[in-house]
Every structure is written in C-alpha cells, then in structure tokens.
Structure 1
Amino acid sequence: MAKTKSEETPLMQQHKAIKTRYPDAVLLFRVGDFYETFNEDAIITAKVLGITLTKRANGSATYVDLAGFPYHALDTYLHKLVKAGYRVAVCDQLEDPKMVKGIVKRGVTEMITPGVAVNDKLLENGSNNFLAAVHFGNGMTGVAFLDISTGEFFIAQGNLEYVDKLLQSFRPAEVVFAKQQQKNFRQVFGHKFYTYTLEEWIFTHTYADEVIRKHFATHSLKGFGIEGLNEGIIAAGAALHYLRDTEHPHLQHITSIQRINQEDFLWMDRFTVRNLELLQSSVENGQTLLKVLDNTASPMGARLLKRWIAFPLRQQAAIEERLDAVAFLIKEADLGKALHHHLKQLGDLERLVSKIPLKKINPREVMQLARGLEQVKAIQELMGGVENAYLQRLYEKLDCCPPMLEKIIQELQENPPVQTHKGDVIRAGVHAELDALRKIAHSGKSYLLQIQQQESEITGIPSLKVAFNNVFGYYLEVTNTHKNKVPASWIRKQTLANAERYITPELKEYEEKIVGAEEKILTLEQQLFDALLQTLQDYIAPIQQNAQLLARLDCLLCFAHNAVQYKYHRPTLSDDYVLDIKEGRHPVIERGLPPGESYVANDILLDKDTQQIIILTGPNMSGKSALLRQTAIITLMAHMGSFVPATTAHIGLTDKIFTRVGASDNLSGGESTFMVEMNETASIINNISPRSLVILDEIGRGTSTYDGISIAWSIVEYLHDMTAHHPKTLFATHYHELNELENKLDRVKNYHITNMESGNKVIFLRKLARGGSRHSFGIHVARMAGMPPQLLERANEVLAQLEEKHIEAPLQQNIKKVAEKSTRLQLNIFDAHSDTFRDIREKLETVDINRLTPVEALMKLNEIKGML
C-alpha cells in the first residue's frame, strides 16, 4: 500500500518536496551535523562511497533507506560521486536550528555536475574543466565552451566535422544540448561525452542574446566580435542558462567571451589529433606530445599549452613573433631562469580569483592570491625594458593591482586559517571594535586567574581552581578536604566524589563578557572578510588578464627550455610550398629511448613541383610510421611557434594536416576496419587544399590484397593528377607494387627504410634512402614477437613454396599492365559473352567519372562487386 503524505514525517515531506525539483540528482540533505541521502539516492551513495546503508522509521510503520556522512567530510565524498558520473544537489539548512521551532528551512545551495565544478578535488591543475553547449542549426552548428573554474568562455560555429574537432580538442567534462537532438548528437558525436539535455525553448536566438547581454551588461555583442555567429550565440546562451539552472548565480568572473576563428589556426581533424597522439595516447599511460613538451611552471601555462598544441597558428607574422620571443629567452638565459622561478611561485591565479564571486575562496587562499600578485610585481620588474616586441607587450599589460595587494596584506594575518570560524583571520589595528573585543576575551581569561588567586587567599583554600564546562560555564572547584571553608555566598552547582563545584555572581558576569566577546569576534571577522572579498570583486578582470599574459610567457619559456635541453632548432617559415627537414626526429620516441641510445634522424623533402608524393616502403617495425608522424609533428610544432627536433626545417606555411594512420574497428558504430579506413580517407580527399600536408599509412590493408592495391593506387593517382591542389603527401605502404607509380607519375618518388640482413636476422637501420623496397620481413618480426619456432619454420616453408610458384611476380606484372594500359584493360574485361558483364558495362557507361567523388566511386565499386 502506498504511503500517504500524512504517514511521512515532516522531515521526509520536506525532503520529498525538494527532491521533486531535482529528480535526476543525488540530493545531499543536511540534517544537523550530517548530510543524509534517502531511498534511491542512499543506495547510490552507499555503493559509490562505500558507506553503510541503513533503514530508519518514516512515520507509521514505514521505513526508508538511509546513508549519510558528517558535513565536514563533504569535500572528501562529493568528488567521488561526481567522478562516478552523478549530478549532486547540496541541500543546506538556511536557518539556525537554535532559532527555529519545528522544521528548519532548507534549500539547494549548489548543484555539482562533471562540467560545473569548482571544488579543487574535482579539478586537475593542468587541465581545464569545460562545459560545452551544442546547438544544431540550419546548415551550421554552434558550440560554446565555458570553464566556470577559470572564467574562460569560447564560442564558435561551423559544420559538424569542425564542431567534432573542437569537442575533441577541448575535451569537455560535460556537453549540453536540446532534448530533441539526443539521437542526432549520438549519431554525429558518439557516446564519448557525459551529456545532459535541456528544453528546446532555451535554444533560441532571442533568449540567448538576452541572457548573454544581461550577463555582460551590454546593449549589443559587437564589442566581443561575435555578432553574426547566431548558432554559436545560441550555444553560449544555453551554457550560461545551465550555470544558473545549477544554482550558480554569481558569475562575475566570466568577464569576456572569445571567438574561435577557424581561419586563424592550422586545421587538424579529430583523426589527426588522435593519430599523432597529441593530447592522449592510444595505450594506457603512454607518452603524448603534450607530456613531452610540457615543462611549464604554472597551472595556467599548462592549460594554455594544451590549446597551443590543439590549435597551431596559421599566420606567419604571429608564428614569427613567438619564435622571436623563444630565441630571445634562449639568448637571455639568466632572465629566463629568474622568470621561471617567479612563475613557479605564482600559484593558480586564474582559479583563485574565480572563487571570489562564487564565494568559495577561504582566507588562506586570499593570502595566496596576494603572494601571487607579489610574483607578478617581481616579474614586472624583471621585464622592464626587455628587448623583444612580443615580451614588451606582455610586460606593458601586466598589473599587480597595488591597491588590492596592499589591502590584503594590511588586513589579513600573515598565515590565516583555512576557515573563518577558526578565528584570528584579521590583523590587529584593522578594526577598533574587533581589537576591543579581543582585549576583553584575552584579559577576561587573565582576570579569571586573578579571581582564583584572590578567592584562594580569602578562603584559605590552597587547591582552589577555576575551570569550564559546557553545562554551566566557568566554576570554582573545591576538594572535599576544604569544603567547610566555602563562603555562604557561593552557589553549589555540582557534587563529585572528591570535590564540589560552585559559581559566583562575579564569575558569571565575566563569563558572559568573555563568551559574548568570542562570539562577536567570529561574527565581526566574518563580516570584515566578506567586505574584503567584495572589494576584491573589482580586481577580477585585471587578475585574469595577468594570468593569461603569464600563461603565454610560461609557454614561451617552456619552448626555450625544450630547445636548449633537447637540442631543438628554429624552423624557417615560408610562403612557398616546400617542406624540407634535415635530420628530423620524433620528439616523443626520442625521449623514450633507453639511456645511451640515440635517435636515427632522417631528411624529408616534399614540394608541389618535383617531389609531391613520397611512396615509402620498408620492413615492418623499421620506422616508417615514426617517420610519417615526426614529419607531421615537426610541421605542427613550427606552427605553434616552437623550435623543432631537427637540424634545420624549412616549413612552407601549412593550413591543414591530415593523417590516416593505423587500422581499428569501430565496433560500437558497426563499422569494419576497412570502412573506418575509407571514411577517414574520404574526409581527407574531400578537404585537401594546396597547402595541406597529407600523411597516409597502410591504406587498403583492411580489405583483400587486390582491392587494397587498387584503392591505394587510385588514391595516389588522384592526389597527383585528379586534383589541382597537389598536396604534399607521404604514403607508407606494404604494397611494394605501388613502386611502379614512380615510372608513371612525374612527382611521385620512391623511398624505403633501410635494413641489413645478418645470417638469419634482420637489423633495422631506420635510415631513409631512395628507391623502393621489395620485402616486409614479416617472419622476422614474428620471431621478434616471440612466436614458437615450429610455427616460424612452417612459415618459412610456405613462403619458399609460394616464391617457387612465382605467385608474387604475376601480381606485379599485372599491376604494371594496369599502369600502362588501364583504359584498354577495363574495356577488355567486358568482352566476355556474359549477361552480368554486359550489365556491369552498361552501368559503368552511365557514370560521369569527372563528377564522381572518391566516396561515391567506392560505393559504386561495392555495388558492382555485389553484381558479380
């Protein structure tokens, strides 16, 4: 039988009413000194936190599940619930229980979700915690990224591929979108994000424009340069709405909104970001470019470095500015060391200042903020007159906020407590009444000792002592030996086995003064601290600017350190189409080599006129993939404004880097290895430009040998002849038949990775050389992997038999014939008197090859294959 409202206790009725407003959140319900959870929330909480699940009475013969923890352990347990993927609503007591008869008024004071977190235990120092909002518009998709812990706010719009790339680069902790778009979102972006859906009416331009203008207190959005980005504005409005919806009304630290311009940055699709392992490794605890390059000194610098890697610059002037600054810091090594020293002591200015409007900052953190501003001041002094234009601009914009710095130092104790209720937060001399109350509290205790000595002398009780307990406050304790000496004016309060306790009017009077003073001190200190925080609100924007400027300085110092430490050199950026790298190295692999082992460097030359496409062959595990990746990474690092792991590097300005590396099934999407390959390759073919760098590794291995060779062959031909863009291309393959293309296509050149055979072993020399390779040494690799000897012997026997029967040679001859007589060969296939072949011929004659995209060609090929 269902419980009626009258059967529930008043407390549970209150809980039910609040829980109804937050049905999809775990409700932490403050009851006295505990946060309690009930029913389904209790079951979740007990399981996630590993605490006891109990039952308690709830009115007439009913029970509820219950799990709770002490209120002071909130920080310990809260992050565990959120990390487990739960939304958590913190419901606090809004009244003092001592002042209320009956049920205390309660309400949700904060909602914590993965994307809306400011608790230090929920955040990583070197990573942003972005909330993303996505709006699917008509032909355009808008996206916004907002980090409530730092105040950073970005907006963009574009096609679905662009938004997908942004989501992967920003890696938001949570994504919100309209409920009606749930299926659409899953189809486009998959299941890799924590998501939450909002009502459709929130995603309208009128509402979003009003929300954003109201937040920034402006009449229009022109000042932010985002007017016209209608879909992006809708996404940004939804993000702000979500913050207020999750009980975060104080957002004064979100002081600006920045537009992400696609044309400002070198484009890398999400496959490239993944394949090059820029931010995440494909193996657990594997190294990434970020880990290898990150020698920043501050949390702000570490977070910015991630964005510089994900968004390399495209404009030569901006790149050269960074390179000039890095060169200057290398030359001025002593200045660099001094700056690095102060940056290390800076603390997380960005997150500290963001806690001010959120009312999450404590006295000790305010003092840390002041010490951070002292480091800003020291950095200003070091950078005065610096002879570099970029660094000079940074110096001119720094502001150590002297009035704020002085106010904090003057008002707060040098080492204040974390919590204001511990007392001793405000310095002496700041507030006259506070000083007077402290004098009463301290002198009052001294006076109690005087009372003890005075009464001891009057009564002749040598063992008399003054003590305190919570039942009746201060008292005089007399042992039974001397109780006959107690004056009649004393009031007995308690009898013990060996003593008796008394109070006097004088004692009670001073007790009231002392206790009253201590309560007033705590109240006054809290008021003074709140007033200080209110003053600090005016300095949020300049402190955030300091943090952003010093983050840039930190990244440039990091680049300078890496250049010296790892022997990187300055790249030469040019407006031409040449990529010429001498003695290039892979920065990640190089750092992972055992001590004493050096990386085998290689040269790479690509241009549009003579060597547009390199066909790279060589043994498995010889280093083909490493060479491909290092070429892309060196190009990327140059566009970041970093020195590069090469002796010299002439980098023609690049607008896009594409990679198709490795093979893996997309099981969740129901796609085979070959389908994944073709999807990624089609994306490249359809988006290349004259300044693109294309990296292709083992295209076609996800299907049969003949299909694979045909597709790989046609891709090379397309990149060479069928597009006017002529993108610079590195194509590694185990199909040695592709070496024939060098004889057919002018700008295709064959290279291979060298090796040396010694007895029954193969030694990889990892050096690039002209000409193609004819062997893959697969059996040697199998031996290195630890395959059983019997298996390897049998493999060698089969290989010998195949070679004797010349299975490989006819295939190569056929490929050569295809190259020489492709048109005639295709027609001759259908000379057979077969109805099927005639049908295929008729179907092909209706196809306009000049208008056929690569993807449509593959689909047509699959259709014809089905006819066979």
Structure 2
Amino acid sequence: MADFSPMMKQYFEAKKENPDSILFFRLGDFYEMFFNDAKTVSQELDLTLTGRDCGQGERAPMCGIPFHSAEGYITKLLAKGYRVTICDQVEDPKAVKSLVKREVVRVITPGTVLEGSMLDESRNNYICSVCRSEDGVGLCFADVSTGELHVGQVESIGDTRELTRELVNRISRFSPREILADSRVMELTELADFFRDKLQASVQCLGDGTYLLPRAEETVSKQFGGKSLDELGLANSHVAVMSLGALLDYLGRTQITGMERLTEIELESNSAYMTLDLNTVRNLELIETMRNKERKGSLLWVLDRTKTPMGKRLIRAWLERPLMSPAKITLRLNAVEELVNDRQLLDELIEQLTGIHDLERIMTRIVYGSANGRELRALCAALQKLPGLKYVLDRCEATMLCGLNGQIDSLEDVSGLIDKAIDENPPFTIREGGIIKKGFNSQLDEIRSDMSGGKSLIASVEARERERTGIPKLKVGYNKVFGYYIEITNSYKNQVPEDYIRKQTLTGSERYITPELKELENRILGAHDRSIEMESKIFEDIRHRVAAELNRIQQSAKAVAALDVLASFAIVSVKNDYTRPTVNVSGKLYLKDCRHPVVEALLHDTPFVPNDVDMDMNDTRVAVITGPNMAGKSTFMRQTAIITIMAQIGCFVPAAVAELGIVDGIYTRVGASDDLSAGQSTFMIEMSEVADILRNATPGSLIIFDEIGRGTSTFDGMSIARAVLEFVHDPKLVGAKTLFATHYHELTEMESLLPGVKNFNIAVKKRGDDITFLRRIVRGGADDSFGIEVAKLAGVPDKVIKRAKQVLNDLESSSGGEVTARRSAIRRREEPVQLTIDSTDGQVLQKLRDMDVNAMTPMQCMNTLFELNSMLKN
C-alpha cells in the first residue's frame, strides 16, 4: 500500500469494506471502477476499458460512467446479480486543498433500491429475511422504497416437505427480489431452489450469529424508539424477532442513513386472509397469465384502473390477500356501492386522484437525503391535490370513505413551504444553481444580485473595449480553464492594445486577459460559488423540514392508495355491469348468471354465456362436471373461484345475484407440465398437488379439481379420481365445497351413492358429425365426451377422423353393444325433429326474416313478439 497514490489508498480502504460488490468510486463528475471491477463492468455493460496510474509504475484497469446517469448502469448490474457500493465525495473539492475525503454512503442490492427509475411503480420491491429454529420459521419482508415492514412466523412443522410448501406460499405472496437466510433455512433444498429458480431472487446466507435473539431484540427495540417486544406485538414470536433483527442490521449496514423510514410493523396473520397458494395464484391467473407471464389477460389487468402508483401497489396486495372478515369486506363494499351509485362523486374523486405522484417513494428519498428539487416539486404537486380530495369526500356517507377522509391530512403547510421555496422548474442538481426561488431568502437574493450585476459589468467591458480599440468583433467569453477572456480574430491583431496579456492562440484568433477582467472574474465567480453554497444549505434545511413530516404524509399516502383502489373497483363495476355480492358466514355459494371477468373482457363481439352456481355445505357440496374438452368446464370453475376472490377483496362481481359464505382458502389442481429439471413427470406433479390440497383444505375451503388422474392408465386414473372425490366429500376428512371436472363418466354414479354430490354437464348441440358448444352448465351427467367431434373441430385431418370412428366402432362392438346403445340414444335424442310448416308458420318466418332487430326499440321488439306469438296461436 505504501507505493500506491493517496487516492488509490482511499479506493482500497473502501473496497476492503465491501469486497463482494462493485465499487463506484467518485472522481469529479464520474464514478470510476478499477482492477477486476473495471474489467467486469466493461464486459457486462460494453464500456471502454482504459487505465490510470496508481503509483506503482503500472496502470490500473479503469472504467468510468458519468455520475448523473449512474442509475441506468446500476439497474443493469443489479439485473445481472451484482451488488453496487457507492463511495462518494463528502467534501467540496473547491473547499479543500488536499485530497478530497470520500466515504461509502450506500450499498445498493436488488432489495434495497430507492430510485424511481430503477423500480416498477406498480409493484413493491421486497427484501426478505428468513430464519429457522426449533420454534418454527421467522419471516420478515421490507420494502425500503415505501417503508413497509411485514413480520410473521410459521410454527414448527415436523414434515419438512409441508414446511417447505408453507414457506413457498408465504414468500411467493411477496415475491422478494433479495432474500437473506440462515444456514438451517438453506438446508431445505427445495426452498433454496425455489429462491433461485422460480423467484430468481438474489440469495445471501448470513452467518448464524446474525440471527441471535438477544442481539435481535436490542436491534428491534432501538429501531422502534425503545419499545418492548410486547408493545410491538412480538412478545411470543421470538423466531420472527430474530428474522426482523437480522434484516434491520443488514439494512443499517447497506443504507447507512434513512433507517428512520421504517416506522411501523404489520404483523402477518394467516387467519386474517384467505389462503391462496402459489398454484392457485398461477392457475387462476390473478396477477399474470400462465403462458406468457403478461399482465394483460389476468384478473389484475381487468380490475386495475388506479390512478396513483400507491394504488397500483395496493390493489395487487389486496388481490393476493382476500379478507376473511365479513365486517371488513362489508366496509369496502359499502364504499364501492356509494361510488357506483353516485357517478358524479366517482368522477370528481377520479379527477382529484389523477396526477398524484408516488408519495411513499418520494418521501423515502427525502428521508434518505437523496431527493432532488424535481422530486420535491412532484411532492408539492401531489400534496396540493389533497385539499380538493378532502372536499370531494366531505359529502360521502360510507363509513370507510369517511374514515379515509379523516386519515388524509391536507398538508397545506408542507406544500406551501415547497411551493414558496423551490423553483417551478428546478435544475437536476444543486450545483447547477437556481433551485431556490427568488424572494425566499434575502441573503441569497443579494448574492445573486452580485452575479447578475457582474454579468452586466462584463457586457459593459465588452462594449467599452470595442469602442477603445476600434475592433468591432471583439468579444468577452468564458471557459473553465482560463475564466473570462477577450477574443480577437487574427485580422485585427495589429490593433490589440499593449495592456492585453495573451493567454491562448487559436486557429483564427487570439485570446487575451486584462487585470480589470480578472478582478471582475473573481467577484462574479465568487458570488456564484457563494450562491451555490447557500442554495445547498437552504435546500437541505427544506428537505429536513419536509422529512420531519413523514408520519403525516405516510398516513395520507395510505389513505389515498385505499381510495384509489376503491374507485378502481367502482369504475370496473360500472363499466362491466358488476353486482354487489352478499358476503356472510352461511357457507353458501350462490351465483346467478355469473361470468368470467377476464374472458368477458377479452371478448369483443361475442357475448359471454353466463351460468349459475348453487352450492352449500349440505345438499350440493360437490359438483361433478362432465362434458367435452373446450366446452367451458375449466372456464366455469375458474370464474367461480375468481368471483369468490373478488367478493372477499371488496369488489363487485360479474353476476346478476351473488351470495357467498366466507371461504378460508381456494385450492386448485388445473393442468400440469413435466418438470424435467426436477425429474418429475406430469402425473407426479399432479399427485403432489392433490396431496397438498387434501392435507390443507378445510370444510370452509373451495376446491377445484380439473381432470385429475388422466396422467396414468384409465383404470388407475379413474380409481384415484373416485378416491379423491370421496375423500373431499367426507365431512370428517375434508368436507369442502368442490368443483370436480372429469372425463370419467363412471363417476356420475357418485350422485346416487354420496349425499351432497350432484352431477352437472356442459350442454352440447350435435348435428351429425358437427357439434356446437352451448357453454351452459345443466343438471345431469354427460354420456359422451365427443372426443372425435372435438378433434374434427380442432382441424385434425379427415382421414384421421374416419379412422378414429372405425376404431371406436370396433371397441364399441367388443364391449357388448352397451356403449353403442348409449351413444345411439344420445344421437336420437339430439337429432333435430323435422317440422311441418303450414302457411301461418311461413308468414311468421318471413316476418322474422324481414325484421331489422338492430333498428327496433325494446318496446317494438316486445310488441312484435306478442304479434308473432298470437299469429301462431290462432
């Protein structure tokens, strides 16, 4: 180290503290990287690799980026799995004559990003801490960009497979980008694989000493103002405290400042929310589509009409955590109903919400000391919307809307301070000057007067010198190397006065200075530097004053987010003709003319065929649904589950009438694909998921089984399907409401064997070899899967279709004619009956043909229908 330059010694000291991350070392207007960091960044970001003398007679590999555009480069490095340490200048280079002092001010990891340009405003950016002990597993999730903090605990489960499944479901709900874990958690191999492969999160195994309880208790108490664990609600959650303590310790080491942003703990309780495991969220396409992982085509895509970033994040959280309390659901439904019934109120509310910026993330940057003038103006613009929002809410009657109105602080003092102090169009950085408004500080105005007066003096010097020398094109310029100078073209060199001091020769001109010009330069530049210094102090003071109002602003931001989501529910409900559901604890599930909200939204010219659902805990607890593929069984079952979720998040639902008893969990087994990397076949995955459902479902759950048992031989599959059906039907074992779609028509006999089992099928119209899916669910079991007809509909070549019919006939013949008789009976039942049309019928038909239904009013349609009916009767 003795041979290195002082600056490089600084670099090595910072690098020693953070050896596992790329060090961004501030030199002037650039962040520089050296040695292996430089090689890595050059390769990963396709930047030029240069070198710098480092004091050993050799050049260190070096790579640099402008500091003002660093966010884009950091984003790319984080996406590639790297961590970035920021070592910044903490002294003004102009104020010191020796080496500028530099310190590590922050370590940026995937879970600790604060910058808006590096984050998706529609979703939270969580970091997770998880640890395991004999008592169970502690879980902690924090979004440092919004200040959210969730803490929970999973009680000890002897079966590691079941424990892993529960942890996967809990953690996937938050989808953290970064995970901290102890060694005992990483011993759960399937969980560790899930972290990396499915979540694609950055994973760090922290030393077990980080998770010691005494150390964690001290860290947690210090963070929350000396409160005891009992006061924080964590007295009986020691392993959760360990995970929280480790997370706070990690954030303290990486963020350096701003930890005061984490002010509240939200305790996670499974009993408060409906259980939605990872498979259900995926199968029902709540957040994104299964195939393309896109937002469009998901339930979130249909429901999200929010206007603010906070609302976009909250609606996702509500969707992933449906409520279990009828009282809380009713509060939300009452609020949505008032907005639906009062369109003017809804329109005014939307108008006030539009344009409110991300209060939560802007406040985080203010608290961390990294917000610039533009972000303060954005905060001001958002806060100026709050008085108008409160005015609109003043006439609301729904309890929740009134409560949110009371939670919103108009914050006119804060917005007034920013508006008075910060220029409407502030520069990107303070160093550019002009961030503080004229008139806010008299001393600053005096200094600026010197600056502007100095500029006018320079202009007067230019005019006077032109007159004195007789050189018409003489001009006074400025650059950072020479300061102010007089430039004269070569054609006038013979007229240059003797008191001019030549400073630089250019191709077509010469540059000079004079004692008078240097004196003016010192005066003007000194005023500029003093102005920037004073502006910096004023700006920092304003930022601190705004940061001190964190709790008021955070409380208002939460209320705005909730209002935004409720308004979004109301917008969608009005637009799509949704109905308020009745939510209670009856155990019923009654839906009249229900529709699939996503499929309906994707249909443009084709109307969605609605269906009814009528289930309870007694007579119709299990619905066995048969019918051909593509006829709509899966859509019907999914829409039932989705409507249940919509009701329990407090949204209106796509149905004419809806009464729903609270469902404590939805479990789905819908489709599967081979997981070759894990050595699991489709059938193995299917059976694993079935086993999980049978272990975890309760009488209060809703289960969807779609074609289980088809991944193996017919008799094995049918046996498994029947055994599963009997298991979920039995009140002593599960007894949950279940929708059971199957191609095993033999299972329809269960209706006569088990009370509470009812048969349903998808109505199909068959004419010859052609079939039409009517999309209607009707009572009774289907006698035919119409497999060959569906194959024809899908475009399978005619030659294959004909051969399939021959094979089917052979099989039917060998089965003693039973299948043939059954299929013939179906065909006879579905063949159209030839009607004899008399003259009156012909007149009716002709009148129908001549009608333009689109041009008729509803009353005209009714009158015409009455007329036609009378003609046929007479």
Shorter-chain TM-score bucket reads: 0.7 to 0.9
- 2:210 corresponds to which residue? 202
Residue in structure 2 matched with residue 528 of structure 1 by the alignment = 538
Q: Give the secondary-structure state (helix, strand or coil) at the position aligned to 1:37.
A: strand
Q: Does 1:22 align with 2:18?
A: yes
In the TM superposition, what is the alpha-carbon distance from 1:602 to its structure 2 partner?
0.5
Give the equivalent residue in structure 2 for 1:325: 335
Aligned to 1:742: 751
Of 776, 799, 802, 1:793 maps to 802
Give the aligned residue type for 1:317.
A
Give the drift of 1:43. Answer: 4.0
Against the structure 1 CA distance between its residues 807 and 262, is the aligned structure 2 distance closer, same or farther, given a 3 Å change threshold?
Answer: farther
CA contact (8 A) 2:135 2:239 kept: no
Q: Which residue of 1 is the match for residue 867 of structure 2?
A: none
Q: How far apart are residue 97 of structure 1 and its match?
A: 5.5
Is 2:769 aligned against 1:760? yes
Aligned residue in 2 for 1:163: 167
- Residue 855 of structure 2: aligned partner: none
Q: 1:105 to 1:502 in 2, by over 3 A?
A: closer
Deviation at 1:6, TM superposition (A): 7.0
- SS of the equivalent of 1:668 reads helix
SS of residue in 1 equivalent to 2:673? coil
Aligned equivalent of 1:861: none
Could you say which residue in structure 2 is the equivalent of 1:443?
A: 453
Structure 1 unaligned regions, length at least 5 = 814-868
Contact conserved, 1:570 with 1:643, CA < 8 A, in 2? Answer: yes
**Distance (Å, rounded) in 2 between the aligned partners of 1:251 and 1:33:** 28
1:730-777 per-position Cα deviation (integer Å, ceiling 9, x unaligned): 111111110111111121111101111233222111111111112222
Q: Give yes or no for contact 2:593–2:612 (8 Å, CA) kept in 1.
A: yes
8 Å CA contact retained: 1:625, 1:697: yes
Cα distance in 1 for residues equivalent to 2:26 and 2:820: 77
1:316 equivalent in structure 2: 326
Secondary structure at 1:224's aligned position in 2?
Answer: coil
Residue pair 2:31, 2:67 contacting (<8 A) in 1 also: yes
Match of 1:716 among 709, 718, 725: 725
Q: Shift in Å at residue 7 of structure 1?
A: 7.5
Instruction: Give the partner amino acid of 1:210.
Output: E
1:284-311 Cα distance to aligned partner (Å, 9 max, x none): 1362111111111111111000111111
What corresponds to 2:519 in structure 1? 509
- Over 3 Å counting, the alpha-carbon distance change for 1:800 and 1:369 in structure 2 is same
Instruction: Find out whether 1:591 has 2:601 as its counterpart.
Output: yes
**What is the aligned partner in structure 1 of residue 37 from structure 2?**
41
How many Å apart are 1:461 and its aligned residue?
5.4
Specify the SS of the correspondent of 1:641.
coil
Partner residue in 1 for 2:682: 673
2:118 paired with 1:122: yes
1:230 aligns with 2:238: yes
Distance 1:263 1:812 in 2: 53
Query: What is the match of residue 239 of structure 1?
Result: 247
The letter for the 1-side match of 2:760 is Y
SS in 2 for 1:475: strand
Q: Does 1:92 align with 2:88?
A: yes
Contact 1:33/1:71 (<8 A) preserved: yes
TM-score normalised to structure 2 length: 0.87
Q: Is the 8 A contact 1:275 1:661 kept in 2?
A: yes
Q: Relative to structure 1, is the Cα distance of residues 632 and 478 closer, same or farther in structure 2, using a 3 angstrom cutoff?
A: closer
Cα distance in 2, alignment partners of residues 382 and 630 from structure 1? 35
Equivalent positions of 1:684-699 (< 5 A) are 684-699=693-708
Instruction: Report if the CA contact (8 A) 1:157-1:163 is conserved.
Output: no
Alpha-carbon distance, 1:660 to partner:
1.5
1:266 equivalent in structure 2 = 274
Give the CA deviation at 1:172.
Answer: 1.1
Kept in 2: contact 1:224–1:258 (CA 8 A): no
Structure 1 residues 420 and 96: alpha-carbon distance in aligned structure 2, compared to 1, 3 A threshold:
closer
Distance 1:685 1:499 in 2: 89
Give the Å deviation of 1:671: 2.6
Partner Cα distance (1:184, 1:764) in 2: 48
CA distance in 1, matches of 2:758, 2:630: 22
Deviation at 1:375, TM superposition (A): 0.6
Q: Per-residue displacement from partner, 1:232-256 (whole Å, max 9, x unpaired)?
A: 2221222212212223432222121
Counterpart residue identity of residue 275, structure 2: W
- What stretches of structure 2 of length at least 5 have no aligned partner? 156-162, 823-874
Shift in Å, 1:473: 2.6
Contact 1:600 1:766 in 2 (8 A): yes
Relative to structure 1, the CA distance from residue 79 to residue 206 in structure 2 (aligned partners, 3 Å threshold; closer, same or farther) is same
Q: In 2 relative to 1, CA 794–23 (structure 1 residues): closer, same or farther, beyond 3 Å? A: farther
Give the match's secondary structure for 2:187.
helix
Q: 2:619 matched to which residue of 1?
A: 610
Aligned length: 808
Match of 2:46 among 34, 45, 50: 50
Residue 436 of structure 1: how far off its partner (Å): 0.9
Q: Partner residue of 1:256?
A: 264
Alignment CA distance shift 1:376-1:60 (3 Å)? closer
Quote how far apart the aligned CAs of 1:151 are.
Answer: 0.6
1:572–1:444 CA distance, 2 compared to 1 (3 A): same
* 1-structure distance, mates of 2:421, 2:97: 39
Per the alignment, residue 179 of structure 2 pairs with: 175
Residue 188 of structure 2 is aligned to residue 184 of structure 1:
yes
Q: Distance in 1 between matches of 2:787 and 2:362?
A: 56
Deviation at 1:55, TM superposition (A): 6.5
| Structural mapping, 1:457-496, within 5 Å | 457=467, 464-477=474-487, 489-493=499-503
Deviations 1:497-535 (A, max 9, x none): 776554433332221110100111111111110010111
8 A Cα contact 1:312 1:639, kept in partner: yes
Distance in 2 (CA, whole Å) between partners of 1:779 and 1:459 is: 102
* Separation in 1, partners of 2:583, 2:301: 25
| CA-CA distance at 1:729 after TM superposition | 1.1
Match for residue 728 of structure 1 among 723, 737, 740:
737
Could you state the TM-score of these two structures normalised by the residue count of structure 1?
0.88
> Residue 727 of structure 1: CA displacement?
1.4
Q: Give the CA RMSD over aligned residues.
A: 2.7
Given that residues 314 and 561 in structure 2 are in contact (C-alpha distance below 8 angstroms), is that contact kept between their aligned partners in structure 1?
yes
Match of 1:301 in 2: 311
- CA 1:807 to 1:439, structure 2 compared with 1: closer, same or farther past 3 Å? farther
Distance 2:16 2:59 in 1: 19
Between 289-298 and 180-189, the greater mean CA deviation after superposition: 180-189
AA paired with 2:709?
G
Shift of 1:92: 3.0
Residue 287 (structure 2) aligns with: 279
For the residue of structure 1 that corresponds to 2:24, the secondary structure is strand
Supply the distance in 1 between the matched residues of 2:150 and 2:31 (Cα, whole angstroms): 36
CA distance in 2, matches of 1:586, 1:177: 40
**Counterpart-to-counterpart distance in 2, 1:501 and 1:51:** 37
Give, in angstroms, the shift of residue 374 of structure 1: 0.7
Tell me if 1:428 matches 2:438. Answer: yes
Is the alpha carbon distance of 1:272 and 1:479 closer, same or farther for their aligned partners in structure 2, counting shifts above 3 Å?
closer
Q: Are the structure 2 counterparts of residues 88 and 471 from structure 1 closer, same or farther at C-alpha, using a change threshold of 3 Å? A: closer
**8 Å CA contact 2:727, 2:733 repeated in 1:** no
Distance change in 2, residues 1:810/1:566 (3 Å): closer
Write the distance in 1 (CA, Å) between the matches of 2:98 and 2:415. 46
1:532-575, Cα deviation, whole Å (9 max, x unpaired) = 01111211111111111111111111111111101110111122
1:479 Cα deviation after fit? 6.1
Task: Provide the residue aligned with 1:559 in structure 2.
Answer: 569
The code of the aligned residue for 1:257 comes to I
Alpha-carbon distance change, 121 to 471 in structure 1, aligned in 2, over 3 angstroms: closer
Residues 648 and 248 of structure 1: is their aligned pair in 2 closer, same or farther, counting only changes over 3 Å? farther
Q: For residue 327 of structure 1, what is the amino acid of its counterpart?
A: E
Q: Structure 2: how far apart are the matches of 1:742 and 1:474?
A: 97
Of 221-230 and 734-743, deviating more is 221-230
Deviation at 1:35, TM superposition (A): 3.0
Residue in 1 that maps onto 2:813? 804
Query: Within the alignment, does 1:683 sit opposite 2:687 as a pair?
Result: no
- CA displacement 1:275-330 (0-9 Å, x = unmatched): 21111321113621111111111111110001111111111111111111111011
